[in-house]
Structure 1
Amino acid sequence: MSHSDLAGLLHDLRQAARTGSDLSAAPAADAARLLHLDALTLALRSRRGALELLWADPADPLGPVLDDLQYTLGEGPTLDAATTAGTVTETDLSAAPADRWPLFTPAACDLTARAVIAQPLLLGVATAGVLTGYRTTPGPFPPGQRADFTRFARIALDLLLHTPPRSLATASDGPDLHRAPVHQAAGILSVHLDVSIDEALLRLRAHAWRHDLPLLHVARAVIAGRLHLDPDT
């Protein structure tokens, strides 16, 4: 795709933001392709500091799976970008220092991810969310690609600010909260085990990691009553 195609998309999204459109106006698959990325995600930062996947290509699981992996393990570039309020890059995950993301890196490589760039969406000094791009080939992010990524991130923030809070909470008439079942399952566990929501979330993540299962799979099993976690574990 040519640079003019990207310029056209950015122009259309600026116009959409001016008229009050939310993130659903931005086609994730087209944006990733025009930015020369294999997956693109946007995570919203909640008031409690947790990151919730809000936007990705619904037809391609790579981005959501990598985002879920970071949420489950508690480490990774998206989390680092949110914590440091700075752009985080890794040009070759297969050659990254072993102590940078000791759990995330090998798991991401198993999923064919090789390069990543994560940019915080800043409102002054506050981080509203993080835009993360992935490639399945290693190599640097050239200055032009980084500049385009930054331009898209600014427009994505404008669209995010037009997303109604009620839509974010209910997943109606707007972008869906990808991990809504996880929070529903945590609520169930909190009651059944008489623990806090934070501890219930930790138990869900630990079970998913210990048994090498997708976090959403574990959450849906709890909701359906197929999985009962032991209160003593």
Structure 2
Amino acid sequence: MDEDRAVVLSRLARGVADRRADAPLSERLAAVCAEILEAEGAALTIGFDEQSRLTVVAADEASARLAQLQDVIGEGPVPDAYREGRPVDGDLESRTRWPVLAEAARGELGPLRILAVPMRPGGRMMGALTVHHTGSYPRHFDLRRAQYLADAVGAALLRDPEWETDEQGSPWASRAPVYQATGMVIAQLGIGPDDALALLRAHAYTQDVGLNAIAERVLSRELDFSQIDISGNEDS
């Protein structure tokens, strides 16, 4: 193991140990990642593919909002990191790469620079570490170090018993309503799963709420996509 990687892993272990032992491991890992990378905030997304990804923890309000917008819009560094399998960065000042995300978040969150790094312990994509900075990266920022850190965090989460079950209370359980609602939209409209999820995301975006909120409306039958006319109005 090279010296830089050893230093990163040592700082990660020390930082996790120094925080409250009763706090979930994911929360401690996110906080330490922000500290090591000198970022204003961090978030951890878990999932072996883009459709199943779930942001399980955000260390600050800005990270939580960025995660929600990317989840709903399907645009941003995290979706791109999943598609491309490499670190992806950009800023909210640019309207060229992620125009919808920039429009939705720039006024609310300011000129943030965002970096999403794939977590791929053992070579398999299983999530992403996202950090954000105000302005440019710190002078000593090292992308290779960020990748070491993301892979180490992924390995730690894979070994955390919290991820071994889908029982109620696990973070995976919070994604279940989205899967169930997607199935109901498929049945309502006779479309494929990707299109059904896209409709859920579009509806969440227009209502300015998270995917889970729209999913719950579908599951409670408050929202039925077969009863929405082509202008977007729900039939009475």
Q: TM bucket by the smaller chain?
A: 0.7 to 0.9
Aligned to 2:151: 154
Contact 1:93 1:138 in 2 (8 A): no
Alignment of 1:50-199 (within 5 A): 50-57=51-58, 60-90=60-90, 92-94=91-93, 96=94, 98-112=95-109, 114-123=112-121, 126-135=124-133, 137-144=134-141, 146=143, 148-163=145-160, 167=164, 169-170=166-167, 172=169, 174-176=170-172, 178-199=174-195
Alignment of 1:208-219 (within 5 A): 208-219=204-215
Mapped partners of 2:115, 2:139: distance in 1: 12
Mapped partners of 2:150, 2:193: distance in 1: 32
Mapped partners of 1:123, 1:73: distance in 2: 27
- 1:8-29 per-residue CA deviation (whole Å, 9 max, x = no partner) reads 65124799xxxxxx95473433
1:80–1:198 CA distance, 2 compared to 1 (3 A):
closer
Percent identity of equivalent pairs: 28
Q: Secondary structure of the equivalent of 2:154?
A: helix
Q: CA deviation at 1:149?
A: 3.2
Q: CA RMSD in A?
A: 3.4
Contact 1:168 1:175 in 2 (8 A): no
Aligned to 1:11: 13
Contact 1:54 1:176 in 2 (8 A): no
Contact 2:38 2:138 in 1 (8 A): no
Aligned to 1:39: 41
Mapped partners of 2:123, 2:192: distance in 1: 30
Q: CA deviation at 1:188?
A: 3.0
Mapped partners of 2:194, 2:162: distance in 1: 22
Stretches of structure 2 that go unaligned for 5 or more consecutive residues are 1-7, 18-23, 231-236
Q: Secondary structure of the equivalent of 1:204?
A: helix
Q: Secondary structure of the equivalent of 1:119?
A: strand
Aligned to 2:4: none
Residue among 29, 32, 53 paired with 2:31 = 29
Mapped partners of 1:168, 1:32: distance in 2: 27
Contact 1:40 1:132 in 2 (8 A): yes
Stretches of structure 1 that go unaligned for 5 or more consecutive residues are 1-5, 16-21
Contact 1:44 1:129 in 2 (8 A): yes
1:157–1:214 CA distance, 2 compared to 1 (3 A):
closer
Contact 1:85 1:120 in 2 (8 A): yes
Matching residue's letter, 2:139 = P
Mapped partners of 2:35, 2:168: distance in 1: 26
Aligned to 2:5: none
Matching residue's letter, 1:130 = A
TM-score, length-scaled by structure 1: 0.73
Contact 2:44 2:129 in 1 (8 A): yes
Higher helix share: 2
Residue-pair matches, total: 216
Aligned to 1:207: 203
Matching residue's letter, 1:93 = L
Contact 1:52 1:177 in 2 (8 A): no
Mapped partners of 1:210, 1:36: distance in 2: 34
Aligned to 2:220: 224
Q: Secondary structure of the equivalent of 1:26?
A: helix
Which of 110-119 and 211-220 deviates more?
211-220
